[in-house]
A and B are shown apart, each in its own frame.
Chain A
Amino acid sequence: MSSTTDPRAAESAPPKRAFHPSMLLYDQRYRSITIQIFALFLLMLGAAWLIDNVINNLRLLGRTFSFNFLSQSAGYDINQRPIEYNSQMTHGRAALVGFLNTVILAVMGCALATILGVLAGVLRLSKNWIVSRLVTVYVEVFRNIPTLIWILIFGAVMAESMPAPSAFRGDDPASSMIFDAIAITNRGVYVPAILFTTELGVLPLGPVSPSLNWVLVLAVLVAGIFANKVLIDHATRVQNATGIRPKTWWKSLLVLFGPVILIFLALGAHLEYPELRGFNFVGGTHLRNSLLAMWLGLGIYTGAFIAEIVRGGILAISKGQTEAAFALGLQPGKTMRLVILPQALRVIIPPLISQYLNLTKNTSLGLAVGYMDLRSTLGGITINQTGRELEGMLLLMAVYLAISLTISGLMNVYNSRVKLKER
């Protein structure tokens, strides 16, 4: 290259060389194409081999690939039914019941795990020696023993160590109900149920038909939360304009709970208490041992992991932030709420969501204590009865995958919203 040549011109016009097949191997620009084509070739070969095997195997077994079994009669009972179900209904309906049971357990488990985890995570940072040691023992013991063992242990505690319903009988019973309302027995826990005198009927939504009463209560609650947010936004605006924040707590309470209480009164809500009749308790809501064992096992196990996440999140915020907040004159409570937590949450939320995902996937261990979740209905009895392993397992995986992708999709949206804006 002569010194008179403009270096930019030289850069924009690389020396032209005719394409030669050996460049596919040696030239960086084309090599990645070769590698990808080779990988594609291997993948297609593997996929073709697998699909060919499946077709051959199905032919040898005299089977077809179809999801017709979902509309056949199931013929088995499910002990926990959030929606109407009996053994005459279809396998598809049974799978739906199982799915709802999975969701119920996952939501209950996540709630318990979050409460326990946040509490334990904060207490483990406590200056109180004995409390922090006790919480450390909780975290280490639960984290290092498989969740399946915990589920079985809680199942055994419920079934073996709790009094039988007959212990509640007689003038001087061996056991008595807590507050005359909750009975803990070896057949499960009986708690009061909320009943309405006025039934509004059901919301026709296809297979799932929720009671209109509860839909109404939920709608009012959501509206209340929304109204409360408007109220708080208004208070913040007033504070920004005048420097004085109006008192909102009693308005908030009124807006949040007033309408719900009114709805309950209007619909004639009352509690139905469980009572001992014959050999068992009748009335109220029956929480089965299987549900409780799964709930406690998964919730307390996952809580230990969440405790570590919360602790790590709080420790990740440098001490300078607290000191800066104090220097600005913020009180400790406000420092936590306005300075530490918003930053700690950014660290805490992603691993927290992945713990929720783990818990949701671990609900598939329900079979160990006989909890009728999606795995036990669709992936268990339905597959055994119809012999449709391939279709059943594919469907099962697809449902779990959909749940997981939904949760991680939401997490990504949240993450991109709270992410620190960097250069």
Chain B
Amino acid sequence: MSDTHAQTVAYVRNEMLPPADPPLRESGAVKWLRENLFSGALNTALTLAALAIIWYALAAIGPWLLNSVWSAGSLAECRAILDGTSGACFSVITDRWHQLLFGFYPPQHYWRPVLTLALLFAALAPVLFPALPRKMMIFSATYPFLAYHLLWGGSVWLPVSAALGFVAGYLAYVILARVSTLVAVFAAILAPVFWWLFAAGPFDQALSSVMPFGLEFVRSDRFGGFLISLIIGISGISLSLPIGIVLALGRQSDMVFIKSVCVIVIEFIRGVPLITLLFTASLLLNYFLPPGTTFDLILRVIIMVTLFASAYMAEVIRGGLAALPKGQYEAADALGLNYWKAQRLIIMPQALKISIPGIVNTFIGLFKDTTLVVFIGLLDPIGLSNAIRADTNWNGIYWELFIFIAALFFIFCFGMSRYSMYLERKLKTDHK
């Protein structure tokens, strides 16, 4: 049969045809466009509306951005260069760059905040990367006092005497731990308090008069710009996590009194706006301290911002604790671990991992909230933008300053949220 066929048919193809390209409608960009942008009437309408929005936004802002002036000493000069055309005067940024970053910090000391920031990464490294030698933690522990001294200056003995309070607490714990852990914990709480209340001041004064070492003192009202946002933000972030953990554990505790105190503290702080706490720091704190005591406004703000963030942090961590299956607690009990060991080895590592997104969101919120200090007269970037606008040279400039400040905040906050996503993926152990 096949023979007949071969003889009767003039031509038989011997080799396979190459596969034909798919139809144009079903391949490449056209297919993608059809599926993602124009798959139906509603979808097409949405696409067109989105394109219109993008077009209008670009048409409104694009030329203004492209036609920008980067070197001019004043708004009048910038407008002269623009010569009636629409354009951005980013020269205000180049002109006031240092002020926006450091505020009125003395220019010859700019190296101090920069060095503090550089050392911050060195101090963070052992916390973020477990592969590094553990001895580096000693530097991380001393960093806060070092940073205080670098930024504010003054006598070197003030941060030293403050740090000795913690040393006193540690020593009291170590000495009494043999008697009873509980007594040691009480002593570790009381010893630093007594040290700071009664011994730290004379110690600082005595040593300062004998050995007056230290960098030049910079008053708090010279601080400003992103320097102040970073100081408040980073201190708040690093302090609010441990305080938040303690509050969350207190709220989960079986002890009625501790639990109710924690609940009241958390609910009170979460119930009032941050700005009222900041006003308390700036207006009311003098009522609550012994007559004649003053202490630094930035420090008060850091305390209030930390308390505020701690309450939110406590709720986030409580969520993590609640999400943990009860079997984990029971397993820890079954292994015979005591409360603190169970928390440290079993509960907290898992609860904190679950709450990473919430924790980072709280951090981001805290960093954004540092802008509120403008209301109590600190010169954060927004406060400085008002100050720059009050200058006759730059009177009437709005958008360029807003864009610059917003862009810097965006970079920080967006970076933090991406890092938390990375961390979440890295720490994910379940195989869903």
Contact = CB atoms under 8 A, between A and B. Distances in A.
Contact of A141 (B35, B280, B382, B410): B410
A259 to B, nearest CB: 36
A90 B274 CA distance: 27
A156 B414 contact: no
A185 interface: no
A126 interface: yes
24 contacts: A25-B182, A35-B182, A35-B255, A36-B256, A39-B261, A53-B290, A57-B286, A57-B287, A57-B291, A128-B36, A128-B37, A128-B47, A128-B50, A129-B36, A144-B409, A144-B414, A156-B398, A156-B402, A364-B273, A375-B273, A390-B284, A397-B276, A400-B271, A404-B272
A404 B270 contact: yes
B375 interface: yes
Interface stretch (A146-154, A197-205, A240-248): A146-154
Contacts of B255: 32, 35-36
Pairs A-B, 5 closest by C-beta atoms = A404-B271, A144-B413, A361-B273, A129-B36, A146-B368
- Most B Cβ at <10 Å: residue of A160, A383, A393, A405: A393
Interface in B197-211: none
Contacts of A54: 287-288
Given A389-B283, A389-B284, 9 more contacts: A36-B255, A53-B288, A53-B290, A128-B46, A131-B49, A146-B409, A149-B406, A149-B409, A401-B271
A18 interface: no
A53 B292 CA distance: 11
A127 B374 contact: no
Contacts of B180: 25-26
Contacts of B406: 145, 149, 153
A39 B375 CA distance: 36
A67 interface: no
Contacts of A141: 410
Contacts of A60: 291
B402 A362 contact: no
A43 interface: yes
Contacts of B405: 149
A222 interface: no
A400 B270 CA distance: 10
A31 interface: yes
A350 B47 CA distance: 33
A379 B270 contact: no
Nearest to A404: B271
B382 A148 contact: yes
Nearest to B364: A144
A140 B364 CA distance: 12
B230 interface: no
Contact of A152 (B186, B291, B382): B382
Contacts of B286: 57
A266 B260 CA distance: 56
B279 A379 contact: yes
Interface in B180-199: 180, 182-183, 186, 189
Contacts of B398: 156, 160
Contacts of B413: 143-145
B371 interface: yes
Interface residues of A, number: 58
Contact of B257 (A36, A147, A396): A36
B267 A126 contact: no
Interface in B314-352: none
B50 A130 contact: yes
A143 B406 CA distance: 11
A324 interface: no
B368 A34 contact: no
B207 to A, nearest CB: 28
Contacts of B47: 128, 130-131
Interface of B: 35-37, 39, 43, 46-47, 49-51, 53-54, 180, 182-183, 186, 189, 254-258, 261, 267-268, 270-276, 279-280, 283-284, 286-291, 364, 368-369, 371-372, 374-375, 382, 398-399, 402, 405-406, 409-410, 413-414, 417
Interface in A85-99: none
Interface of A: 25-26, 31-32, 34-36, 38-40, 42-43, 50, 53-54, 56-58, 60, 123, 126-131, 134, 140-141, 143-149, 152-153, 156, 160, 361-362, 364-365, 367-368, 375, 379, 383, 389-390, 393, 396-397, 400-401, 404-405
A312 B286 CA distance: 45
Contact of B273 (A32, A140, A362): A362
A131 B47 CA distance: 6
Given A36-B257, A54-B288, A156-B402, A146 B371 contact: yes
Given A134-B53, A141-B410, A145-B413, A25 B271 contact: no
Given A34-B182, A53-B290, A160-B398, A144 B271 contact: no
A128 B48 CA distance: 11
Nearest to B290: A53
B293 to A, nearest CB: 9
Nearest to A398: B272
A32 to B, nearest CB: 5
B42 to A, nearest CB: 9
A123 B256 CA distance: 47
B358 to A, nearest CB: 10
A149 B368 CA distance: 10
B372 A365 contact: yes
A268 to B, nearest CB: 41
Contacts of A401: 268, 271-272
A368 B256 CA distance: 42
A50 B409 CA distance: 37
Contacts of B186: 38
A389 B279 CA distance: 9
Contacts of B375: 367-368
A401 B410 CA distance: 31
A272 B271 CA distance: 41
A140 B291 CA distance: 48
Given A26-B180, A144-B417, A36 B258 contact: yes
A393 B280 contact: yes
Contact of B51 (A130, A365, A393): A130
Contacts of B280: 393
A416 to B, nearest CB: 15
A355 to B, nearest CB: 12
Contacts of A156: 398-399, 402
Contacts of B257: 36, 39-40
A383 B280 CA distance: 12
A58 B287 contact: yes
